[in-house]
Amino acid sequence: MTGFDASLLYLETAQQPLDVGAVLFIDVSDLEVAYSFDRLRTELGRRIKELPELRRKIYDSPLNLGHPAWVEEYDLDVSAHVRRVDVEEPGDERAVFEMCGTLGSRPLDRTRPLWEMWILEGLAEPDTVAVYFRAHHAVLDGVNGADILLRLSNAGRPDPPRGLDMVRVEAGSANPLRLLAGGLWDFTVRRPLTLARLIPEVLTLPLALHTPPSTATPDEPAPDDDSPADGNEHLVVVPRAAPFTAPRTRFNATITPHRAVWGTSLDLDEIAEVKDAFGVTVNDVYLTAVGGGLRRYLRAHDDLPDPPLIAVVPVSTRDADGARGHNRVTVLFASLGTDIADPLDRLRAISARTSRGKKQTRNGMRPDLIQDVAELAPATTLHMLMRIYGDFHLADLHPVVHNLVVSNIPGPAEELDFLGGRVTRMYPLGPLIHGSGLSITAMSVDGQLDVGINACEHLVPDPDLVASAIREAMDRLLALTREQATRR
């Protein structure tokens, strides 16, 4: 187990479960055999044999000086991981999301592989079931989770041969001598070498990543709506995003384990229309819609701060040389331009800043820097400190590190099904940590960008309003893009 994956286990507390997941809506009308839960669970159990990530469980020893290991659960009981539940009347999306929030508030059993799947039946939508899947973040990151769902979508195709040797190599083996020897090597050799490399790098990193934020221009308007301001298209400046420069909002406090989830969908053709009109990226348009949605949401609650919200944006490092572990990410800090009323100005500013932020991250921080820092994580100390941090609500006292996590996971290029049933919507759900009780994650599926909202129920009890505000912000951005095109 890498230090990064292990750190996600150490950082978890009763208040802060570190899970990721997704809510899928499945059209079962075209299945070759009529849908039944038993058939689905049987097929899923057969497919899991090809997925080492879902067969791994934690193995450790009190004498181990290093991080725990992953071992394969050879006698995996699928019925302990895949269960069925009926949603409450009237069986609409609200009922589905509320049920998923309730199910996501329960801790995962660490004596088993760290994942579960709930099949939600009784939906009002004909020939449709919902699937709520979640796993511990130590097992999956966003890209790896999307890959697993893609591998589950080949049910009707020829079965790939199962490589038993490869499964065991990937998962490891329950060998106490091997664990202790590996822990001794890690403690006496690998960690000192990693520390020696990190010290000069970490000391110089703040010079590259943290500078005082610039101030907004005096001419910047602050109207009460999202109307564009004439003549100031190129005057708005987004402050440079950096940790501990984020303003405090209603969802920046100590979290509880109770979850509230929701989802909405944005049309990829509409996003592409905006992207092509301004020469920006899909992610720039997405961040602009999220920033506009949060601006609307916070204004509705009379909680919109003057400085812009700062999001942590995960960046996959799976293509980096020597990348190991289940989680292979670095992060950049991005301003969401929530202080900019005009959506077009917001788009231009976000595009300019995220472009510079990516160059800054590439130039100032190695892709595996976070991984190396995590290798030094002391299990007992880190867990104890996180418990104290949560119990004493310390996240409420110090400056806000970042407001939320915003992620955009590359979706499958091909049509996605789930064990033979067509996936009509799939809302990914990111993790929450103390001080950041809101996560917004998107994935492209079947011509649309599905956006999942995961929130602490006590801080954001109305994630449906966040979702609808993002949708409205995208509609406004598209309308202004078309208006500008007609004036040319």
Whether the Cβ atoms of residue 429 and residue 422 lie closer than 8 Å to each other: no
Amino acid (one-letter) located at 203: L
Structure tokens at 35: 């849908």
Cα separation, 436 vs 457, in Å, equals: 12
| Dist CA 204 CA 258 (whole Å) | 39
CB contact set of 336 (below 8 Å; sequence gap of 6+): 287, 290, 291, 294, 308, 309, 310, 311, 350, 403, 406
Neighbours of 222 (CB within 10 A): 10
* Residue 210 annotated to the active site: no
In DSSP notation, 411-424 reads: PPSSPPEETTEEEE
Cα–Cα distance measured from residue 429 to residue 103, given in angstroms and rounded to the nearest whole number: 13
The Cα–Cα gap between 19 and 22 comes to: 10
CA 348 to mean position of chain CA atoms? 25
- Give the Å distances, CA to CA, from 362 to 203, 209, 357: 17, 11, 9
Specify the length of the chain in residues: 488
Residue 396 in 3-state DSSP? Answer: helix
* Residue corresponding to tokens 């950049």: 332
Provide the residue type at 143 as one letter: V
C-alpha distances (whole Å) from 162 to each of 30, 79, 170 are 28, 21, 13
Q: Which is it for strands 115-121 and 82-86: parallel, antiparallel or unpaired?
A: parallel
Catalytic residue, from 136, 137, 326, 434: name it. 137
User: Two tokens at 104?
Assistant: 């996501």
Contact 423, 133 (CB under 8 A): no
Residues taking part in catalysis: 137
